């Protein structure tokens, strides 16, 4: 009799706890700390912070997002051309202004084409476009050694999927690729100085970008 009563009491307690848990679903007061922010993957924010603090996760990912927010990262080209028009040069001047603020950071330039023309030709054309961007950034005071790599995807990664001439696919993209690990700021771990320089730069009034653009003559070889 006593054993049966113990079993009934245990079952009643389990049902009560289950009902209590169900009634509090969705309440932040009955979840693990950080679960609401983490969307069910408890511990990831702490892990991410730890990786950043001990250097295992590169700050470059965050800086690349800031770079994309601060300046246009892409320039476009006329058909079968690697020539920079005035609009492209204006964008690259903005990129160069940002890049010069971060001497410990390296960047990579990706070249792209549209789908018109042979694959091999477009690979080479994409590389010429990336090289043109690199040369212009260097002319604006960026150290060539900080432009870590030139990559051509040719027609492989279109923004607009089409076999026609599409200007938005004829582009280069500049991205943060990492840190120069030999730079003293990186060696000392003084990431606050990087952030502070960005803060000061964001408060500096910038002159208006020149308007207008030059219409390039389209060629015939590839996109």
49 falls within a domain: no
What's the CA gap between 42 and 51, in Å, rounded?
16
Band (86; pLDDT cuts 50, 70, 90) = very high
How many domains, in total, are found in the chain? 1
With respect to residue 34, please indicate whether it lies within any of the assigned structural domains: no
User: Mind listing the pLDDT tens digit for each residue in 26-58?
Assistant: 444 555 444 444 454 555 566 666 655 545 455
Any domain includes 136: yes
> Domain range holding 183?
67-202
Q: What's residue 214's pLDDT? A: 39
pLDDT above 90 coverage of the chain, percent: 35
CATH number, domain with residue 116: 3.30.1330.60
Name which of 146, 50, 58 is nearest 98 in CA terms. 146
Residue 72 lies in a domain: yes
Of residues 14 and 159, the one with the higher pLDDT is: 159
Q: Is 191 left (phi over 0), alpha (psi -120 to 50) or beta?
A: alpha
Tell whether 33 is covered by a domain. no
pLDDT-derived band at 103 (thresholds 50, 70, 90) equals: confident
Strands of 105-112's sheet, edge to edge? 74-76, 171-179, 105-112, 147-154
**Which DSSP string do the residues of 32-61 spell out, in sequence order?**
-TTHHHHTT-TTHHHHHHHHHHTTSS-THH
In a domain, 54, yes or no: no
Give the strand pairing for 105-112 and 171-179.
antiparallel
Q: What is the pTM of this model?
A: 0.60
The answer to whether residue 123 sits within a structural domain is: yes
pLDDT at 104: 80
pLDDT at 145: 87
Q: What is the pLDDT of residue 148?
A: 73
Is the sign of the CA dihedral 206, 209, 210, 214 positive or negative?
Answer: positive
In a domain, 41, yes or no: no
């Amino acid at each position: 009799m006593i054993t049966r009563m113990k079993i009934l009491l245990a079952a009643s307690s389990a049902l009560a706890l289950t009902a209590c848990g169900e009634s509090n679903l969705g309440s932040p007061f009955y979840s693990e700390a950080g679960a609401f922010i983490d969307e069910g993957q408890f511990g990831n924010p702490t892990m991410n912070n730890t990786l950043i603090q001990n250097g295992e996760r590169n700050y470059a990912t965050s800086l690349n997002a800031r770079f994309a927010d601060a300046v246009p990262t892409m320039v476009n080209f006329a058909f079968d051309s690697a020539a920079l028009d005035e609009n492209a040069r204006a964008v690259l001047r903005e990129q160069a202004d940002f890049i010069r603020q971060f001497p410990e950071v390296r960047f990579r330039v990706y070249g792209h084409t549209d789908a018109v023309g042979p694959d091999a030709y477009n690979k080479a054309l994409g590389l010429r476009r990336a090289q043109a961007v690199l040369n212009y950034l260097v002319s604006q005071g960026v150290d060539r050694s900080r432009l870590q790599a030139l990559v051509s995807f040719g027609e492989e990664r279109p923004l607009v999927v089409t076999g026609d001439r599409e200007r938005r696919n004829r582009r280069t993209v500049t991205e943060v690729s990492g840190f120069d690990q030999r730079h003293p700021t990186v060696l000392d771990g003084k990431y606050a100085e990087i952030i502070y320089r960005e803060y000061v730069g964001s408060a500096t009034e910038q002159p208006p970008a020149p308007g207008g653009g030059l219409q390039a003559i389209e060629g015939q070889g590839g996109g």
